[in-house]
Amino acid sequence: MTSRHGNSALRAIVPAIGLSLVFLVLAGLGLAALHALNAITTALAVGIAALAATWYVARGIAEWKTRLRPLAIAGVLVFAVASVLAVHYSAASATTDADGASSLAVWAYPAGDRLQVGIQQPPGRGEASLRVVVNQDGITARAWNDIRLAPGQTWEAPALTLTGSGPVQVVVLNAGAVVASVSAAQD
């Protein structure tokens, strides 16, 4: 596929990347159609694509060597480092913002004849000492005190078996104040 412009390494890189994508799509489709899209078959397919791409690009490697410019390479390196730093900084900023906007989650749902109860401390908050109370018909059925949760940590109660059919409420308290609750009607 050389043209009148010759086949510089840089010129060859573009079709090599593009054809790798094409190969990835077509090989992936074939493997998925055969229900054989897994790590081994993918590694084989990508290995073949990588070899072909390397061969394609390597045809222009002689020209590549003579055309390398230290200032250009320095620029590319600066771009690469700046991009990594920018993405890392942005990821840290986004994570902090998302963590800060997260809320304590509480759940209570029946699984068979048992009740699954759990809470998750949001990642953006500090460690908390929580109290979880399960009420049925307004009467405390179970309670867990001093549940210490680190940011982002989840706590799940042992599966509960409740007798009676009255309404169930799960309340989460922090320093005596209700911070979350779920009012789950019992079957």
Partner 1 sequence: MMTPATVSETAHPHLMGRASRGWRAARATGLGVGSAFMADGAGVVLLAVADARSRAGASGGYLLFWAGLALILVPSAAVLLLSQRGRPARLAVALGFGLALYLAKVVYEPTAFTFHDEFAHYRNASNLLASGQLFGYNPLIRTTAYYPGLAVATDAIVHLTGLSVYTCGLILIACARLTLVGALFLLVDELLGSPRAAGVAVVVYAANPNFLYWDAQYAYESLALPLAILAVFFIARRMGQRPSRPAILCCLAAALAVVATHHLTAWALAGLLLAWSAAGWIRRRRSPDAAEYIPLLPAVVTACAVIAWVAIVAPITVGYVSPVLTRAAEQGAQLAIEHHTSRTLFANSGQAATAPRWEDMAAVAATLLIIAVLPIALLRIRRTGLPVIAKLLAVSSLVWVALLPLRFTADGQETANRSSEFVYLGIALCFAFLLETFLASSRWRRMLALGMVILLFAGGISVSWNYSQRLAPDYHLVNGSATVTPDDLALARWMLADLGPGHRVATDAETGLALGSVGRQDVLSSAEDGARVWQIFYPRTVNSGVLAEIHRSQAQYVVVQLDVLDLPTGVARFDDSEPTGYDEAPLPAASLSKFGNSTAFREIYAAGSLRVYQVVDSAGGQ
Q: How far apart are the C-alpha atoms of 132 and 127, rounded to whole Å?
A: 16
Choose between 123 and 142: whose C-beta lies nearer to partner 1: 123
What is the smallest separation between the CB atom of 61 and partner 1, expressed in angstroms?
13
109 is a contact residue toward partner 1 (CB under 8 A): yes
99 is a contact residue toward partner 1 (CB under 8 A): yes
Burial of 42 (0-12, 13-18, 19+ CB in 10 A): middle
Q: What is the DSSP letter of 34?
A: T
Q: What is the SS3 assignment for 169? A: strand
58 is a contact residue toward partner 1 (CB under 8 A): no
174 is a contact residue toward partner 1 (CB under 8 A): no
Q: Which stretch binds partner 1 (CB under 8 A): 94-102, 131-139, 141-149?
A: 94-102
Q: Which stretch binds partner 1 (CB under 8 A): 77-85, 131-139, 143-151?
A: 77-85
Q: How far apart are the C-alpha atoms of 59 and 169, rounded to whole Å?
A: 71
Choose between 50 and 143: whose C-beta lies nearer to partner 1: 50
What is the smallest separation between the CB atom of 111 and partner 1, expressed in angstroms?
9
69 is a contact residue toward partner 1 (CB under 8 A): yes
Q: Which stretch binds partner 1 (CB under 8 A): 96-104, 131-139, 141-149?
A: 96-104
Q: How far apart are the C-alpha atoms of 134 and 182, rounded to whole Å?
A: 10
With tokens 């489709």, the residue in question is 29
Q: What is the SS3 assignment for 104? A: coil
